[in-house]
Amino acid sequence: MSELPQPERDLIHPSACVDPGSVVGKGTRVWHFSHVMAGARIGDDCTLGQNVFVAAGAKIGNHVKIQNNVSVYDGVELEDEVFCGPSCVFTNVKNPRSEISRRSELVGTHVRRGATLGANATVLCGADLGRYALVAAGAVVGGRHPDYALLLGVPARQVGWVSRHGHRLEARDADGNLLCPESRFRYREHSNGTLSCLDHPEELPLP
């Protein structure tokens, strides 16, 4: 194990392997049979479920939740508050071949703050998923997508918007703004195909 502060060692299951040279933030839990490689960077208060692999070149922000059986490979960056559902998949090479080394051809993937990846979703390398986007279970997503996008299907396409609280946005107020049914935050659609929240800045934690 890497040299973590003594209280933090209690948060790493004895069956997990956290290599020296990795960075694991304060309060992060690493559960059964998981492996964090040297060079990996994981923020504070994250949860890595059973059988999670984090490669040397992966970057994981604060308060990220990674469910069982997820591998976060080199070139994948998960910003703060990202949720990875069970057995979701990342790739990092577009045309892999066993007999040809393509370590120098890795293509990065960026999952931005607060986005959710559903169970068994596949995120193709090069994807750039906006803040608070939601990828449905089993979807296969690539390319660039805006904040709050709701992405469904194989291949995934945007079918609407979701709120920061994870609800599909359908109802509107008298001014035409979309309304979250839980928080009542208002969201405004813009002519450039983006959405923004009128009641709380995207970069700040929820109150």
Strand 134-135's sheet: what is its strand order? 29-30, 47-48, 65-66, 83-84, 116-117, 134-135, 149-152, 157-161
In a 13 Å sphere around the CA of 50, the CA atoms on its Cβ side amount to 1
Mean pLDDT of 120-134: 98
CA-to-CA distance for 174 and 12, rounded, in angstroms? Answer: 51
* Percentage above 70 pLDDT, the chain: 97
DSSP 109-130: EEE-TT-EE-TT-EE-TT-EEP
Tokens standing for residue 185 = 């935050």
DSSP 29-52: EE-TT-EE-TT-EE-TT-EE-TT-
What confidence category does residue 8 fall into, taking pLDDT thresholds of 50, 70 and 90? confident
Residue 108 Cα to chain centre, angstroms:
13
What does the pLDDT look like over 57-82, one tens digit per residue?
A: 999 999 999 999 999 999 999 999 99
72, β-bridge pairs = 54
> How many CB atoms are located within 10 Å of the residue 126 CB?
16
In this prediction the pTM is 0.94
DSSP class of residue 136 equals: P
Q: What is the pLDDT of residue 113?
A: 98
Q: What is the pLDDT of residue 174?
A: 97
Q: What is the pLDDT of residue 7?
A: 45
164, β-bridge pairs = none
Report which of 6, 3, 10 is spatially closest to residue 24, judged by C-alpha positions: 3
Mean pLDDT of the chain: 95
User: Could you give the C-alpha distances from 187 to 64, 149, 158, in angstroms and in order?
Assistant: 25, 12, 17
Placement of tokens 């790493």 in the chain = 12
Placement of tokens 């790739």 in the chain = 91
Mean pLDDT of 120-146: 98
In this predicted structure, the answer to whether residue 3 has a pLDDT above a threshold of 60 is no
Q: Which is it for strands 186-189 and 195-197: parallel, antiparallel or unpaired?
A: antiparallel
Q: Which is it for strands 53-54 and 35-36: parallel, antiparallel or unpaired?
A: parallel
Q: What is the pLDDT of residue 138?
A: 98
